[in-house]
Structure formats: C-alpha cells, structure tokens
Amino acid sequence: MAKQTKYIFITGGVVSGLGKGIAAASIGLILKSRGLSVVNQKFDPYLNIDPGTMNPIQHGEVFVTDDGAETDLDLGHYERFTDTSLSQSSNTTAGRVYMTVLQREREGGYNGGTVQVIPNVTEEILRRMLLSTEETNADVIITEIGGTIGDIESLPFIEAIRQIKYRVGEENCCYIHLTLVPYLNKAKDIKTKPTQHSVKELQELGIQPNILMLRCDETIDNATREKLALLCNVDKDCVIQNTTARSIYAVPLQLESEHIGDAVCKVLGLETPPTALSEWSKMVDVFHNPKDKVKIALVGKYVALHDAYLSVVESLIHGGIANELAVEIDWVDSEELTDDETARNRLKDADGIIVPGGFGTRGIEGMILTAKYCRENNVPYFGICLGMQIIVIEYARDVLGWKDAHSTEMDKETKHPVIDLMPDQNGKILGGTLRLGKFECAVKDGTKTLEAYGTKTVWERHRHRYEFNNAFRSDLENAGLVIAGVNPERNLVEVVEVPTNPWMVGGQFHPEFKSRPNKAGPLFREFIKASYKNKK
Ligand code: GLN
C-alpha cells in the first residue's frame, strides 16, 4: 500500500510575530526525532513573487536553498531545526500563485471561462501545497500560513487548507492555531477572549483547530486551559502552552514538555516511538551554560534590522556552541566608519569581526576600513560574499597600491575592477543574473579553509552577481593573497585568505545557510575559535 502522507497546518491568530516559524520548525524536529521524515513549507500571502527583491531592512534576510530559491527567512528556521534541505517548492507567495494563474489565463488555459479566486486561485494553491508530497514523499508535511487570521489577503490560503481535507482525508490533517494569551499585570489575570475570538473567526472560515498553541509570558493554569478547551471545541490534551523561552532552541523542549508530539500523533493517527530530544537538549544546555564569551563586531549596512542577518547571527551562535562560548554581537553600521581613526575606535573592543553580504554602494568604504583595520592589527576577520569581495578590494588598494581598485558594482570606471561581472553575464538585465544555490568549491592544501572543513570538496550556497576578477589573480597572489578555494567548473575564486593575519578568510558563498545548532558551519566554528584566541 502506498504511504499516506500526513498534513499539519499552522495558522496564527490575534497578533503577528508570535513565532509561528519557530513553532513549525520545533514540531518538525519533534516529529523527526520520532523517526518520521518531515518537510516544512511556508505559504506567504503577500504579492511579491519571492523575497529576492525585497528590502532586507523591511523583510529581513533572504534565505537561499540548495536549488537556488530565494525564500522567506522562516525556511532557515525549518532547516536549522530539522536539518533537512528544502527547495523552491517549500516557499510559495500569493504573487507566485497569481502569476501562474494569470499566465495560464493569457495562454488560454481556462478555455474562455471566468477566472476567479475560488476555484482557480485556491486550486493553484492546493496544487502547490501538494507538490512537496510528490517531490519528497515525506511522512509529514508541515505547512505554515503566513499572516494572521482575519487578514484579507490570506483568505484564499485558509480556504485552500479547508478544502484540502476533502482531497487527502480529514483523518490525515491536523490544524494547529497559535494565538496570544495576554497577561494583564494590573488585574493579575490571564485573558482568553482574544483566543476565543480568533478561533471563532477560523471556525467561520470552516476550520476547526485540533490543537491550540498558546503564546504567553506566564504559565497558564489548569482552569484556563479547561475553559479554552471547552469554549474552542478542542481536546484538553490539545491545549498546549508555548511560554516565552530562554532561547529559540529551547522552544522544542518546552513544547515537548507539554506533550505536543503525542497530541499531533494522536490527531493524525500516527504510531511512532516516543520523542527523542536528548542530543538537542545537550546542545541547548551547552548554549545556555557557556564557559566564557567572545565579542564579535558585525559590520554591515542593514544593522537597523537584526533579522536582515538572521542566519549569520544564528551561525555565529552555532560557532559559539561548538566552542562552548557565548557570542556577544556588537552591531556596527558601516556608514559610521569614515576613516582609520573612527574605525579603530569603534572596532577596538571586538575579539573578531564579521562583514556579511550586501548589495549597492552605501556603506562600502566603512567595510573596506574594517578589513584594513583587521589586516593591519591581526584581528580575526570573516568575510561573507560582499565581505570577501571587500578583502580583495582592500588588499588591492593598500598592499598593491591600486588606490582606485573596486568592484564594478560600485565603480564602473575603475582601472582596477578586481571584482567584476563575468564575460558570460554581460549584457543581461541588471548586468547578469545572480549566481544562486549550491556550487562546488575545491579547497587548496595548507589553507585555513581546509583546516576548517577537513575536506577538499565543499558545497556551499551562493547569492551574488559579481565575482573575483581572474585578470588580477596573479598580481594579487604575487602580493601574498591566498586563493584558498576555486569553483572547478568555471574557475571562479570562491575563498580568499590573508596569511599574515591569524584568521582572515572570505568566502564568496554564504555558509550561514547550511550551519546547524548542533553542526556549526566549519568556518563559523573556526572564526569563533580564532576570535577567542585573540581575546586571550
Ligand atoms: N553585491 C555583491 C554581488 O552581487 C555581493 C552580494 C552578497 O553579498 N550577497 O556580487
């Protein structure tokens, strides 16, 4: 008999920002620990086709998958918690759905019929929701619906998850509704009314939640749970509290102490071994009880919104866990660094410095001053994507004396375009498309990079348009810059190192997308180690 895939749908109520993504990722981890194969996916009701072109200061980071999809940052949580690589089909926006429907309409795909939200848009949502089932054959698909119940734009998605039970069988569907349960300090009272209203709204849309997940700052007493169970038509065992945890990685442990694994498996008729989180719990223990700490300055142009660097921050934490260290991040706006003096003053307390990815001209000179400060003062420096290009520009300017060296992204006229578009990209829109997704990197002997990875073939994910310009490669190498990794297929420089500094490494790729809390990205692990050595 063919395997029956089970479906979990997570919706949010009352307010946004309750941590649906973390909850969905936690449930994924819990079910995986019970021996099930799990795939998480997210459906976002906004009209952008994907987050690729959205401003990081507004929307947070763009998470990139192996297959090169530019996705919502919640996919990063899913991957980090479940250690499963996701794909393009794991993130769908309303924009993508509508685009498909409208293209089909233009091509005559509806045979002159009227094209409507119901059934045509909902049909396309359903098709995409079930795509992961075909592609992955997972035991459980966990689908998070972005937004909050009551939003106009999420209605077609809610209608789709209502209809889906007629497609796959009601017994194979579990609806989880996450709401806020506020605690009124003055009245010393926990308030259930917002949850009742939100569930009522969901019921009006035809969905009866199986499980209520209650976000709260205080412990929810038994009487309140019973009241909510009764008034919302939910089993008492299915009222799960989700209190504010010490860290996001503690959330699965907290939810499991509420027996969420049992609750979900009961609803879905799944028989599995019990939840097994002992390794995860050990990792959380190390995270919460570090031996010491390191201070890392993160120099970037999107520091106004920390979520713009979400995966980088998590990866630094992972590097900390691997070294039993807490990582304190000092957020530095690169525009504040205007000359050697301001850079030194602002950066002097950092044990190590990271310059992550970015696009455009703003804030670039401050990053170059940062690389110079690190190179001249032997402070560990980790450059990611743009941060790697910055190493090359600084090296060309200050070591080779090419004062105008630059990337053609910022200066089209420079005589020393050390970072440039590749010939095969020229002439395309925006000067060439992005290099997206995973690519191979052959690592050279005797490098910090090889020391970190311990293997000569590395696959990391990319998201950039410009590349190290091979026309200047021998000059830079002769001046001492080490080319530590190259993409064998196109001979593109992937990693550079400055050997005079104890740890100055830049990768054209984004290793933050593959780092996991219990399996830190090797470069993050080594960067934190070097930074701690520098502190000592
Ligand atoms: N702006 C640079 C490029 O397009 C770097 C991109 C990045 O850091 N992700 O090549």
Domain end position, chosen among 282, 302, 320: 282
Q: For 276-294, what is the mean pLDDT?
A: 97
Residues 375 and 485 in one domain: yes
Residue 288 bears catalytic tag = no
Note whether 198 and 179 are within 8 A (CB): yes
pLDDT-derived band at 426, boundaries 50, 70, 90: low
- Tokens of residue 174, six digits: 């579990």
HEC profile of 223-250: HHHHHHHHHHCCCHHHEEEEECCCCHHH
Domain match, 367 and 443 both:
yes
The residue ranges of DSSP E strands in 132-243, in sequence order, are 140-145, 173-180, 183-184, 189-190, 211-216, 239-243
The whole domain housing 69 covers: 6-282
> 456 and 321 in one domain?
yes
- 303 with 269, same domain: the answer is no
Q: 313 and 207 in one domain?
A: no
Q: How far is CA 491 from CA 7, 74, 468, 471, in A?
A: 44, 33, 10, 12
Backbone phi, psi, residue 114, to 5°: -70, 135
Question: Which pLDDT value is given to residue 259?
Answer: 96
Give yes or no: 512 in active site.
yes
Residue of 93 and 14 predicted with greater confidence: 93
Catalytic residue among 256, 385, 441, 464: 385
- The CATH number assigned to the domain holding 55 equals 3.40.50.300
Test site for ligand 1: of 359, 368, 411, 460, most ligand atoms within 8 A of the Cβ: 359
321/362 same-domain check: yes
Residue 338 and residue 192 share a domain: no
pLDDT for the residue numbered 189: 87
Q: Residue 44's pLDDT is what?
A: 95
Distance from C-alpha of 229 to C-alpha of 237, rounded to nearest angstrom: 9
Closest CA to 217 of 260, 185, 239, 195: 185
Binding site membership of 351 for ligand 1 (Cβ less than 6 Å): no
Residues 226 and 333 in one domain: no
pLDDT cut 90: percent of the chain above it:
90
CA dihedral 514, 515, 516, 520 (to 10 degrees): 150
* Alpha-carbon gap, residue 292 to 285, rounded angstroms: 14
> With pLDDT > 70 as the criterion, what percentage of the chain qualifies?
98
Same domain flag for 183 and 302 = no
pLDDT digits (tens, 9 = 90+) for 82-135: 999 999 999 999 999 999 999 999 999 999 999 999 999 999 999 999 998 888
Provide the pLDDT for residue 429: 46
pLDDT of residue 452: 98
pLDDT at 431: 43
Model pLDDT, residue 425 = 64
Q: How far apart are alpha carbons 312 and 494 in whole angstroms?
A: 18
pLDDT for residue 145 is more than 60: yes
Q: Give the list of residues 6+ apart from residue 466 with CB closer than 8 angstroms, or none.
A: 389, 407, 408, 409, 419, 420, 421
What digits encode the pLDDT tens for the residues 52-87? 888 888 889 999 999 999 999 999 999 999 999 999
The number of distinct structural domains making up the chain is 2
Q: Is residue 392 part of a domain?
A: yes
pLDDT digits (tens, 9 = 90+) for 405-414: 999 999 999 9
Asked if residue 89 and residue 28 are part of one domain, the reply reads: yes
Predicted confidence (pLDDT) per residue in 444-497, tens digit: 999 999 999 999 999 999 999 999 999 999 999 999 999 999 999 999 999 999
In a domain, 79, yes or no: yes
Q: State which of 231, 247, 282 marks the end of a domain.
A: 282
**How far is C-alpha 78 from the geometric centre of its chain's CA atoms?**
8
- For residue 385 and ligand 1, the question of a CB distance below 6 A is answered with yes
User: What contacts 137, CB < 8 A, 6 or more positions away?
Assistant: 3, 5, 37
Counted residue by residue, the chain has a size of 536
Is the domain of 370 the same as that of 505?
yes
Tens digit of pLDDT for each residue in 324-348? 999 999 999 999 999 999 999 999 9
* Residue 133, in any domain of the structure: yes
d(CA 201, CA 208): 10
Average pLDDT (382-394) is: 98
pLDDT at 114: 96
Q: Give Cβ neighbours of residue 490 (< 8 Å, ≥ 6 apart).
A: 422
CB 180 within 8 A of CB 18: yes
Numbered residues of the known binding site: 16-22, 74, 144, 151-153, 191-196, 227, 245, 358, 386-389, 409, 465
Cross-strand partners of 354: 298, 382
pTM across the whole model: 0.94
Domain annotation covers residue 252: yes
CATH number at 377 reads: 3.40.50.880
Task: Flag whether 1 is in a domain.
Answer: no
DSSP bridge pairs for 376: none
φ, ψ dihedrals at 486, nearest 5°: -135, 140
Mean pLDDT of all residues belonging to the chain = 95
In a domain, 431, yes or no: yes
Evaluate: CB of 386 within 6 angstroms of ligand 1.
Answer: yes
Give the HSE-up count for residue 247: Cα atoms under 13 Å, Cβ half-sphere. Answer: 18
Question: Omega into 119 within 30° of 0, i.e. cis?
Answer: yes
Q: Is 466 in the pocket of ligand 1 (CB under 6 A)?
A: yes
- The per-residue pLDDT for 132 is 86
Q: Which of 224, 256, 282 is the last residue of a domain?
A: 282
Q: Is residue 129 part of a domain?
A: yes
Same domain, 197 and 340: no
* 479 Cβ contact partners less than 8 Å away, ≥ 6 residues apart: 395, 399, 400
Task: Examine residue 333 and state whether it is found in any structural domain, yes or no.
Answer: yes
Catalytic site residue 510? yes
